[in-house]
Amino acid sequence: MPDKLRVGVIGCGGMSRNHTFGYLNSSRYEVVALADLSESAMKDFDDHFAEYSDYKADHFTDAREMLEKAKPDVVSVGVWHKGHAPMTIAAAASGAKAVLCEKPMADTVGAAAEMLMVCGRNGTKLAIGHQRRFLPAYTLAKQMIADGEIGDVRLIASVAGDGLPNYASHQTDMFRYLLSDADCEWVMGNVERETDQWERATRIEDRALAVFGFENGAQAMILSDLTPEHWQGARIYGSDGMIEITVDDLKIMNAKSGGWQVHRPDGEFFKYGTDRFEWVEAGAAQARELAEWVSGERDDHRNNGENGYKALEMVHGVYESARTHTQVQMPLKTMVSPLDLMIDSGQLPVRYPGKYDIRARLLRGENTDADTENA
């Protein structure tokens, strides 16, 4: 087996913890450095991984100093959305072999394009943390669809909440994964924003409705905060049957199933029913595939930067459709946030003033509505 890859983590929040559990559970890495503005955050991070022999992390309060001194092979970017592009670009410029950046890929499509450009220029492999591509139920559904077990996919329906970039970017990525990475050709959608609501220091809508059309003729739909429920997964309607997936299991109904047939597949690292199965299984599988990509054992990663870009592009396509009142053809041409454009132009006036961030509880100290690119 190749030597273990050295990991540096930027931002010591919950998603970075999930990345790190994935690295350590995959047995392909050693975590050598952390960067965060908060020393207490780094100490708390250490406590979570004290039992792992491959965790020996030095602390840095400056991410670029960490990149220069620790010289990690792989960099995890787990800061808030606006920090994804600058930290990924810094890691690529420092000579990192690979970056695993948390989703959404960036706060704008333009920033995401810059990430791809700089990583390509420096030969840095870029993966985006849409880890649900590694869930056994998702992969089984993808295979069933490819095998024609429900005929031609007509519609994939999902429910979401808490802002399209954060929550629904997983779903736009899932649509493409289930359809063997078919490209989205058009987007139609609308949004409501009567409150000054933010999510990890980026503006989000209050409610949204989105419809997507794909090159293979399938369509997909997201209802975001329009119903009381939201969950990761989908209901998939085909010409010859239906599939419903969650992060844990799958149900299929077709001519040969005799009603709903339930599948609860185990993962490659953990068994179905394991505590936090979604996170520990997908994280370890994502990390292993990244190690294989870096070492040349495989040619690509299912979460590569191009797929992350297309998931973000679909989300911003919803905002662009609302802004222009059109069916938006892909690829998206507007490189800044169409939601910001609507708000700044007065197209989406706030009816109930009072800025608030739905993730403010994640901040430390006196912070209430903002983070920095290093924390």
Answer whether 129's CB lies under 8 Å from 103's CB.
Answer: yes
**What are the angstrom distances between the C-alpha of 189 and each of 162, 170, 220, 316, 323?**
17, 17, 12, 10, 9
- Rounding to the nearest 10 degrees, give the CA dihedral for residues 371, 105, 172, 333: 110
Residue 228, number of CB atoms within 10 A of its CB: 7
Residues in the chain: 375
Q: How far apart are CA 370 and CA 83, in angstroms?
A: 12
Q: Alpha helices, DSSP H only, in the chain? A: 14-26, 39-48, 63-70, 84-93, 109-122, 136-146, 169-178, 277-295, 305-324, 338-345
Could you tell me which of 297, 141, 302 has the C-alpha nearest to residue 232? 141
Answer whether 69's CB lies under 8 Å from 98's CB.
Answer: no
**Cα Rg of the chain, angstroms:** 20
- Looking at the domain that runs over 134-272+310-357, which CATH code has it been given? 3.30.360.10
Structural tokens at position 54: 């491959």
Answer whether 309's CB lies under 8 Å from 116's CB.
Answer: yes
Report residue 88: phi and psi, to 5°: -65, -45
DSSP string, 156-188: EEEEE-S-IIIIIHHHHHHHHHHTTTPPEEEEE
DSSP class of 304: B
Question: Architecture of domain 5-128 in CATH?
Answer: 3-Layer(aba) Sandwich (3.40)
Could you give the residue range(s) of every CATH 3.30.360.10 domain in the chain? 134-272+310-357
Report residue 40: phi and psi, to 5°: -65, -35
Q: Which helix (H) or strand (E) holds 58?
A: strand 55-60
Q: How far apart are CA 275 and CA 317, in angstroms?
A: 36
Q: How deeply is 81 buried, as exposed, middle or buried, from its count of CB atoms within 10 A (0-12, 13-18, 19+)?
A: buried
Please, what sign has the CA dihedral across residues 164, 169, 174, 175?
Answer: positive
Identify the residue whose tokens are 């994640």: 362
Identify the residue whose tokens are 């999902």: 158
Mean pLDDT by 10 residues, the chain (375 residues): 91 96 98 97 97 97 98 98 98 98 98 98 98 98 98 98 96 98 98 97 97 98 95 98 98 95 98 97 98 98 98 98 98 98 97 94 79 45
Q: How far apart are CA 96 and CA 341, in angstroms?
A: 35
